[in-house]
Structure 1
Amino acid sequence: MMQWYRLRFPIKLTFAIILALFVGFEFNLETPRWSVMTAAIVAGGTAFAAGGDPFSGALRYRGMLRIVGTFIGCIAALTIMIATIRAPLLMLLLCCLWAGVCVWLSSLIKLENSYALGLAGYTALIIVVSVDSSGSLLLAPQFAVERCSEIIIGIVCAILADMLFSPRSIKQDIDREADALLLEQYRLMQLCVAHADKDEVDKTWAGLVRRTTALKGMRSLLMMESGGWPKVERRMAVLNTLSLTLITQACETFLIQNSRPEYVPPQFLLLFEKPVESTADIHKRMKIMRRIITVSGSKNTPATIRSWVAAASRYLLLLKGIHTNSSISRIEEEVLNAEPVVRMRSAESRHAIINGVRTFVATAVGSIFWLWTGWASGSGAMIMLAVITALAMRMPNPLMMAKDFLYGMIFAVPLGALYYMVIMPATQQSMLLLCIALGVMAFVAGIFIQRRQIGTLGALVGTINILTLDNPMTFHVSTFLDGALGQAIGCFVALLVILLIRDSSKARIGRTLLNRFMYAAVSAMTTNTARRRENHLPALYQQLFMLLNIFPGDIDKFRLALTLIIGHQRLRDADIPINDDLSAFHKQLRHTADRVISASSDAKRRHYFTRLLSEFDIYQQKLALYEAPISVTEPVARLAQMLKKYQNTLIQV
């Protein structure tokens, strides 16, 4: 069974490529290799991203995005060619600009949807370059139609292969991970209540943030799989918020004990000391804790423990519905509609612009050099430039992906030469022998792709590209060398552009994210009922996860961000006195915090941050004047102290 599981994806990839090859030759397509390459990219790229056989639905979704992106790119290419057919250089530069704009926009949207925009960018350039290299611009409409047809055939073949060879449902993985996540949440609370070692607590909550984000991604894959999971999807959306709430309340419990060691009552210390083995154990423990809270009264129970128990109870309620996919009860409906979730705008606007500039510069320089020299391999280099810059720039580490393509294309030269000069001529134009030859290569590549072996996907795609599959097959060594040399040089130039145009936005993004955490904490100080009901927690933790990826190992930044998130949640629930004076001052605090984020220089940022600190001092005096309870004054004082301590981190790039 285990061996079949490991071999399922290589068999699936082999079937998709062979089916695309057979259909391409059977219907006498002009360039059958495009359908074969599409099947390899859709099936192989999805598996490489997933690190194994992709879940059911992910491959189909990626295929639909590729169809959409191809149609958009074809329309853009025809529009540009009709408008600038008498100016080849201008036509190519407009295509380069289009590719740059598509990459810029794709860097600002969800990663799974950005694939369509990236594809639309380089599809237009591929069509224009291919038509221009053929010497007849009148063939543009025909080439665009053929390209769309071949791509659709390749996608359909990949989807059929996915459907035939036991697509893997993600539902069982979701059930297991949701259970395991709650057990890990309980372990974090045990550590925080016991006030364990700070490093161990940091490691546990950082791991929980990653696992919660992964579970959120599983929700998207579940909806791609089938339309029969809308009730589970709704529950999982709120489950994500509850998991983040549990992390926040546990960490705040730990934080409060730094200054108030007696914060947790003995009965809760005793309860959390006992280990749990399953969600059933947690369910029993929650019943006991709710009974203790009811008997003790809310005033005698720490606010963080009360909130944690309430969130864990709601988590258990939704967890049962996720397992059974049952109808949503009245109580669940109240939980699902409790708070509107707020979305935040992207913090990567500068990073997105740099990505777009890299793509435009790389393709524009390549276009000018190609037109100036008339280089025979220029069209292949241009295509690889467009593909790599459009795909790599959307990745967290574009340099690594560019290296992956370069290593793959270098390996594709000897592998392609073996197939083009030895194996394929020996097939004697036999379709069966050709399918066997390519099937063996696809099967071996599939084994390495699901292991994420660097260079494997690039080698497979690059080899298929330079084999120039035609019907009937012709073997010209000069054509092979032109294609191999062009795509290898294109990959090298793309890598060079990424190295030369450095992305210096990392520190700026980090500061922007930290300032947004600060603004969220400040804006939580409000008496506006509608504003207090808004749920910022998923957006805040999404940006915290981004911070974890940008600065791996920088625990001080994570602690600061988490403390600000805790401050936001505590102040959002705090019983702030309601009067016009405090309401007006809340608006002033938000205005000053916003000026800190939008300041155009370090000097202005420092000026507004200093003003914000002085306004916090005045605000604390006002709270004392209006006799605010300790549930308000304590988190405000903690927030003010945190801002003073880390002001250099929040101000400087």
Structure 2
Amino acid sequence: MIGHFGAALFSYRPKRSDWIFAIRATAAGVVALSIAYALKLENPQWAMLTVFVVVQPVAGMVFAKGLYRLLGTLAGAAGAIAINLVSHGSPLLFLTLLALWVWASAFGASMLRNPEAYGAALAGYTAVIVGLPAFGHGELVIEIAWARTIEIMLGIVCAGLASRLVLPQFARDQMTSRLKGIILDLSSYAEGAFTGADRATLVSLSRKLIGEIEALGEMRAYVRLESPSLAAHGHSVRRTIGYLLSPLSAARMLRNHRPPQGVPPTPARIALRGLVADLRAAGPAAFDDIAPWIDRCKKIAADARDAPAELGKDNPDRIGTAARLSMAVEFAEMFAGVLRGLEALRSPGTGRRRERSQPALLVHRDAGSAFRNGVRAAVATTLVALFWLETQWADAAGVTVMVAVVSILFASRPSPIQTSFGFFKGTLLAVPFAFLTGQILLPMLPGFVWFVIVVAPVLVVAALAMANPRWTGTATAFAVNYLVFLSPHQTMVYAPQAFLNGAVSLLLGILLAMGVFAVVLPSRPREAVARLAGAIREDLVRLCVHDRIPRRSAFESLAYDRINQLMPYNRGPGSRTEAILSGSISSVTVGLEILKLRRAIVTDAVAMDVKRLLGRFLKRLARLLLKPIGERPVIDFVNATRDMAARIAHESDSADVLDAAASLRVIAAAVEDHPVFFRRVRQSS
């Protein structure tokens, strides 16, 4: 494992920003440790390792993670004090209260999003770290809680100041740069879709885009605390992330449903192809002035919206052309929304005041999974804590703490065992390095200067690895647990037995937590994907049959959030999860077409007989989404929908009726392209 990691690291070519991050993190850690020495704190290593826990390449992410680490620590310390005082030395009551606290923290961490979820997780395992050593010694609990809070606060302050003062990298710049790259990739994808590029190329670009969009969403969640301007534009950035998915879906549908042989492409399609080709060819320089690109999108959308009125009944592909024009309108409008989002991100001070009073964005929450995560963490922590209390094995405290940390922190990950194994690898890799430096070199080379000379190179390399997204989790585990094993003090002594006992206890704790993930209410990714897909289908059903027509923004907000939750489960090309993810993206298009049909029904835009047909169609679509069926009914639904579209368009020359027929064709095309998503399959027992 060391050889593989070393070979990968030597082949890695860090960027200048990576070196800045690594040196800044190491320097902040050294400063935090020196201050802890000066203050004669009992566990100075906590100040230094806190730096490596909260440090991030972007200043706002450091502030967000540090703030919620502090809040979580304060809550956990207060919880530990309360549990010890209430239990009065009763092991049964102590373990019961601790289990309830751990359950509540894991439940909260699963229901919240980063960085709030991180704060909830900290509250859980901080209570274990503070409460266990103080059990039976009530006079010590406040002292331990105070010491840990001071040590962690010191590390947070040092990391935060370093990220702000030493060659800072700000979130706005990072997000702007990333969003520009995504827009260019989206342009390449759309150009390929409009010109008939091969499927393998488009699939590769699509996967890259989805990964980049997911990373952008993760960054937005952390950096909204960087400055008031970014916080005020949180809705704008969130909508922009959603808008990125809609053009992707529209371009895919336009590719899959090209005009039949002999039917020329619409002017809108030609204009869109020219737009994305010009933008891709211009490269980053295209973003120097965004206004002309937005104007082109608006013109394409306006022309495409007016074009169906010119389609006569003699057109052999009248409805199909209207449907493709509808998708072209969606692509142009959503692409313009992405460009406006980039403009708002670059100049957040120009945002309109009304955005500050918008309602909270809707998010998906899975209370069932959160409950199971809480039970799993509580059971694991309680059993190991009971073992420690019964045996009084000194190193069992380390096992208990690590079980609590891993079972709470990684519980809500899509693959908690895999994530925990990455953490285990980083911890195991830290053992020989910590032994060499802490047990051999530093006892022979006393003094703070020698400590910096010996330890700093190891931490710089670890921080360089942390800057690479492929290694962030493993490298962070290495850096943090390297400092735990090293346990830096002003006088380093040779104590291999204590070192090995501590290392074994931490590694054993991680393995036990992994075993708990595998045995106690194990995570089932397929069920999580099914629940998310089912929730999106239920949203579509509500759009079909609910008495009140929901706001478009409310539907989009919740749908995009659920799609973001699906992205980490994507297993790659050809997998069922990729099919469901693609279908979920298309479901947003379907939802918007349903809203158009609902508005046509409640207004006088179409005749009463057409309204009745549309109402029956929406009920049939709702049954398709809710009732477990096979493949044949899906084919029948698609054919019946196309027949209905042809029928109502044939009986009327009204532009509103043609729009409704086009919406029916778009829905039929989406269901035909993504049958795995749109038909609910019967769950096997």
SS in 2 for 1:522: helix
Match of 1:629?
A: 657
Match of 2:683?
A: 652
8 Å CA contact 2:60–2:225 kept in 1: the answer is yes
Q: Which has the higher contact order (CA 8 A, sep 6+)?
A: 1
Counterparts in 2 of 1:490-639, with a 5 A limit? 490-501=509-520, 503-525=522-544, 531-553=550-572, 554=575, 555-574=578-597, 576-578=600-602, 593=622, 629-633=657-661, 635-636=663-664, 639=667
**Residues 111 and 175 from structure 1, CA distance in 2 versus in 1: closer, same or farther, beyond 3 angstroms?**
closer
8 Å CA contact 1:571–1:632 kept in 2: the answer is no
Q: State the Cα distance separating 1:247 from its structure 2 match.
A: 2.9
Match of 1:14?
A: 26
Q: State the Cα distance separating 1:88 from its structure 2 match.
A: 1.9
SS in 2 for 1:651: coil
The 2-side partners of 1:573 and 1:100 are apart by 45
Match of 1:448?
A: 465
* Structure 1 counterpart of 2:40, one-letter code: N
The 1-side partners of 2:508 and 2:201 are apart by 48
8 Å CA contact 1:195–1:254 kept in 2: the answer is yes
The CA deviation string for residues 483-524 of structure 1, in whole angstroms up to 9 with x for no partner, is 223222222222222233363532222222223333333333
**Residues 154 and 357 from structure 1, CA distance in 2 versus in 1: closer, same or farther, beyond 3 angstroms?**
same
SS in 1 for 2:59: coil
**Residues 91 and 188 from structure 1, CA distance in 2 versus in 1: closer, same or farther, beyond 3 angstroms?**
same
**Residues 194 and 538 from structure 1, CA distance in 2 versus in 1: closer, same or farther, beyond 3 angstroms?**
farther
Match of 1:139?
A: 140
Match of 1:27?
A: 39
Whether 2:137 is the aligned partner of 1:149: answer no
* Structure 1 counterpart of 2:346, one-letter code: H
Q: State the Cα distance separating 1:29 from its structure 2 match.
A: 1.4
The 1-side partners of 2:296 and 2:667 are apart by 33
* Structure 1 counterpart of 2:593, one-letter code: R
Match of 2:67?
A: 64
Q: State the Cα distance separating 1:190 from its structure 2 match.
A: 3.5
2:403 aligned residue (377, 381, 385)? 385
8 Å CA contact 1:21–1:435 kept in 2: the answer is no
Match of 1:103?
A: 106
Match of 2:502?
A: 483
Identity of aligned residues (%): 20
Q: State the Cα distance separating 1:592 from its structure 2 match.
A: 10
**Number of equivalenced pairs:** 627
SS in 1 for 2:170: coil
Counterparts in 2 of 1:82-93, with a 5 A limit? 82-93=85-96
* Structure 2 counterpart of 1:443, one-letter code: V
**Residues 474 and 170 from structure 1, CA distance in 2 versus in 1: closer, same or farther, beyond 3 angstroms?**
same
Match of 1:438?
A: 455
The CA deviation string for residues 495-554 of structure 1, in whole angstroms up to 9 with x for no partner, is 222233363532222222223333333333479785254442243233234334213222
8 Å CA contact 1:20–1:35 kept in 2: the answer is yes
Further displaced range: 296-305 or 383-392? 296-305
The 1-side partners of 2:339 and 2:570 are apart by 34
8 Å CA contact 2:629–2:680 kept in 1: the answer is no
* Structure 2 counterpart of 1:572, one-letter code: L
The 2-side partners of 1:471 and 1:456 are apart by 26
Q: Given the two structures, how large is their TM-score scaled by the length of structure 2? A: 0.78
Q: State the Cα distance separating 1:418 from its structure 2 match.
A: 2.8
**Residues 605 and 245 from structure 1, CA distance in 2 versus in 1: closer, same or farther, beyond 3 angstroms?**
closer
Further displaced range: 113-122 or 439-448? 439-448
The 1-side partners of 2:621 and 2:301 are apart by 42
Match of 1:323?
A: 346
The CA deviation string for residues 591-631 of structure 1, in whole angstroms up to 9 with x for no partner, is 9959976xxxxxx8669x999x99x9899989979988243
Match of 2:48?
A: 36
Match of 1:601?
A: none
Q: State the Cα distance separating 1:111 from its structure 2 match.
A: 2.8
Counterparts in 2 of 1:151-550, with a 5 A limit? 151-194=152-195, 197-198=198-199, 200-229=201-230, 233=234, 235-257=236-258, 262=263, 264-265=265-266, 268-269=269-270, 272=273, 275-276=277-278, 277-278=281-282, 279=286, 282=293, 285-286=296-297, 289=300, 300=311, 302-317=325-340, 319-325=342-348, 327-328=350-351, 343-346=362-365, 348-428=366-446, 430-451=447-468, 452=471, 455-470=474-489, 476-501=495-520, 503-525=522-544, 531-550=550-569
The CA deviation string for residues 53-73 of structure 1, in whole angstroms up to 9 with x for no partner, is x11211121111110000110
Q: State the Cα distance separating 1:182 from its structure 2 match.
A: 3.5
Match of 1:49?
A: none
8 Å CA contact 1:92–1:128 kept in 2: the answer is no
The 2-side partners of 1:590 and 1:70 are apart by 52
The 1-side partners of 2:535 and 2:553 are apart by 16
The 2-side partners of 1:139 and 1:213 are apart by 45
Q: State the Cα distance separating 1:564 from its structure 2 match.
A: 2.8
Match of 1:121?
A: 124
**Residues 637 and 270 from structure 1, CA distance in 2 versus in 1: closer, same or farther, beyond 3 angstroms?**
closer
**Residues 589 and 398 from structure 1, CA distance in 2 versus in 1: closer, same or farther, beyond 3 angstroms?**
same
8 Å CA contact 1:416–1:467 kept in 2: the answer is yes
**Residues 652 and 640 from structure 1, CA distance in 2 versus in 1: closer, same or farther, beyond 3 angstroms?**
farther
**Residues 585 and 350 from structure 1, CA distance in 2 versus in 1: closer, same or farther, beyond 3 angstroms?**
farther
* Structure 2 counterpart of 1:576, one-letter code: A
SS in 2 for 1:168: coil
**Residues 584 and 341 from structure 1, CA distance in 2 versus in 1: closer, same or farther, beyond 3 angstroms?**
farther
The 2-side partners of 1:564 and 1:578 are apart by 23
Q: State the Cα distance separating 1:370 from its structure 2 match.
A: 1.8
8 Å CA contact 1:511–1:649 kept in 2: the answer is no
Aligned residues: CA RMSD: 4.3
